[in-house]
Amino acid sequence: MGKGYMGKVLFVDLSKGDFKEETIPDEVYEKYLSGTGLAAYLLYNRIPAGADALGPENIFGLMSGLLTGTGSLFTGRWMAVGKSPLTGGWGDANCGGQFSPAIKRAGYDGILFTGISEKPVYLYIGEGKMELRDASGLWGKDAVETEEMLLEECGHDAKVACIGPAGEKLSLIAGICNDKGRIAARSGLGAVMGSKKLKAVVLDGCRRIPVADRDEMKNLSKICSKWVGMQPPFVPGNMTGFIGAFMRILPTQMAQDGMLYKVMLRKWGTVSMNQVSAEMGDSPIKNWSGSNKDFGMSKSKYVNPDVYTDCEMVKYHCYSCPLGCGGICKMTGKFSETHKPEYESVLALGGLCMNEDSDSIFYMNELLNRAGMDTISAGGTAAFAIECYERGILTKDETDGLELKWGNTAAIVSLIEKMIKREGIGDLLADGSKVASQKIGKGSERYAIHAGGQELAMHDGRGDPGFGLHYSVDPTPGRHTIGAWLYYEMFQLWKKVKSLPAVKPLYHKDAKYKADEEKAIWSNACSKFMNVLNGSGVCMFGAFIGIKRTPTFDWLNAATGWNKSPEDYMEIGERIQTLKQQFNIKHGIEPKSFKANDRSLGIPPLLEGANKGRTVEIDKLMKDYWTAFGWDPETGKPKGETLAKLGIE
C-alpha cells in the first residue's frame, strides 16, 4: 500500500561527484511529514554548528511535499532549504509551478547537495540516467535563457529549477527559479546554490506516486473543487481602493472568510489587494514612514488590479491547483512578456519607493525574475537607499550620479539594474539593507527595515500586529507566509482543532491591538499549521478558504493510511517549528535579535494615516508566543522538557 511519500532522498556530493540514496524510515515521516519538516530533520544534525552558509559544509536541498501528486488539490509547492546566508539561521523558500511533482517522479522526496563543484554543473535525472553535466555554457545566462537552453537540450517534458546571475554573484537576496522566472525568493538560498556552482536541476522522471486510498482522495478533492468553483461577480478594479478606504474608517471589523479573497484571487491574482491594502494600511509606504496620505488613490490608481489583468494574455494554474491566480502579461520594451507581478512585487517596487509608474514595475519584475533576485528584498533595499539619499547619508557621488528621490522612476530602475549587476552602488546594496547599512554607517541602520537581515514583506504589523509578531519570532524571520490575525481567521482551524478558540463574527478593531493570551494561541496555531502545510506542499492561498473546505488533515490520512487527529498534525507542526528554532540556537542566533525594525512596529507611532498612533506590543507578544510553545519566555530558546516531549534530541 502506498503512503503518499517516496520513502527516500538523494544526496549529491558536488565535490566528489558522488550520488547516494538514503531510505527514510516511516516513523520519520510520521513525526516530520515531508517538505521542510523532513528537511529540518535531515539538516539539523548534518550541518555543523557555525558552518559557512556559502561554504562546502552547508547542505542545500530541493524538497517536494507529502501530498504532492496524490490527487489532492493546491499541493504543487516545492521548497528550497538550507542554512540561510541572509539570516545565518534556518532558511527555506517555496514556490509553485510544475517542479514539485517532478521531484517525486524522479523517485525522491528531496534532492540534497553537499560540497562545492570545481566548475559550474547541473544535475540531470531522467531516462535511466543520473549525472552531473557541465554548465559552463549556461553560467551568466538569466533564468529564462537557462531554462530554454536546458529544455532544448534535455527535452521539453523536463522540469527545471535554476539560478540567474544574482545567485551566481552570491547576492544574499537571490532565489531559485522555475517555469521561466517564478521564484522561491526568500532566505537567500539562490546564493547557496551559486556558491556550490550548481546552476540548475533538470528532472524528467516518470515514477508513480503511491497513495493509500485514492478513492477517498478523489472524494475529498471533489468537495474542495466545488467550493473553489463558486465565483460570484465582483466589483471592477477601480473600485477596490474605495473598499479599502471603507474598511479603514469602520470602527468594527467582520472576521474574514477566505472565500472573499478566493474570489478576488481568481479574478485578478494577488494584485487584487494592491489598492485595498494601500488604503486600509496593510501595505507599507515610503520605506514604512508614510501612509495612505502619501500614496492615496490618486497615486495608487496606477496599480489598481485592472492595470495588470488588462494586459494579461493567458491565465495559468500551478500543478493541482483549481484556482489559477497566475498569468502571463504582455509588455513593451526590452521584454515582450512577463509573469503577472505579485502583490508583494508591485508594492515593494511601487508604494514603498513612492513609484507610481506601472510600466516600470512590469519591467523591474521581469528583470528581477530573470536575475533570480527577491523582489521584496530588492524593493525594500531600494527604499532604504532612497531614504539614505534624501537624508544626506548617501551623496550623489556615492550613488553613481543617481538622483535617488522618492518616486524618481528612472533612478529606481537604474538602481535595480545596478544591484543585479553588482555594479557601483548596486554592489553595496546587492546583499540587502542590513549588510548595506553596516557598511554605510552614519546611523543608516535606523532606515534598514528588516528582521534578522531579511527585508519585511508588504504587510504592516501596525495594521495587523500578527504580521509584526511573526516577522520577529519565526526561525526564518521577516516573512508574510507564516501567520497573522487575518490568517487565523481565514484558516478557521477551530472547526477541526476543538481546543482552539473561534473568532467572533464581528469585533471592535481595538481588540486586534491588545496583546493577550488568546493572541499567543492564534499565532502558535498559525506557526504549527504552516509547518504542516509546508511539509505537505499545500499552497497557503488554498488553505485560506478554511480547513473544512481545503481538508489538509483528511487528505494526509487518506494519502498515507494514517489515522491521525487534527491535534496530532498540529503537534507535528509544533515539532518542526521547535526543531527549526533549535537549528538557529545551534548556529549561535539569539532569537531576540530577530525582532523587526522599530519603525515597522510603530516605535515611534505614525502621526497620520490608517495606522496613526499604533504601536505593536511586541515584547509581550514575543514572550507570550515563546511561552505558549514551551520555550523560555526571556530567551526564546526551547526548554529541555519541551524538546523531550517532542522527541527532539
Give pTM, 2 decimals. Answer: 0.98
What is the mean predicted confidence (pLDDT) over 577-601? 98
Mean pLDDT for the chain overall: 97
What is the mean predicted confidence (pLDDT) over 273-300? 96
- List all residues 6 or more positions away from 117 whose beta carbon is below 8 Å from its beta carbon: 14, 15, 17, 132, 196, 197, 198
Q: How far apart are CA 127 and CA 106, in angstroms?
A: 10
pLDDT tens for each residue of 39-74: 999 999 999 999 999 999 999 999 999 999 999 999
Q: How far apart are CA 378 and CA 455, in angstroms?
A: 9
What is the mean predicted confidence (pLDDT) over 623-639? 98
Q: How far apart are CA 67 and CA 78, in angstroms?
A: 11
State residue 412's pLDDT score: 98
Classify 442 in phi/psi space as left (phi over 0), alpha (psi -120 to 50) or beta.
left
On whether the CB atoms of residues 544 and 492 are closer than 8 A, the answer is: no
Which contacts qualify for 17-21: CB closer than 8 Å, 24 or more apart? 17/117, 17/132, 19/130, 21/108
What is the mean predicted confidence (pLDDT) over 189-213? 98
pLDDT at 1 over 90: no
pLDDT tens for each residue of 457-485: 999 999 999 999 999 999 999 999 999 99
pLDDT tens for each residue of 358-390: 999 999 999 999 999 999 999 999 999 999 999
pLDDT tens for each residue of 105-160: 999 999 999 999 999 999 999 988 999 999 999 999 999 999 999 999 999 999 99
State residue 290's pLDDT score: 98
State residue 127's pLDDT score: 85
Quick one: pLDDT band at residue 649, thresholds 50, 70, 90?
Answer: confident
Which cell numbers hold the place of 336?
Answer: 515582450
pLDDT tens for each residue of 217-269: 999 999 999 999 999 999 999 999 999 999 999 999 999 999 999 999 999 99
Q: How far apart are CA 513 and CA 503, in angstroms?
A: 15
- Count helices and strands in the chain by DSSP H and E runs: 26, 19
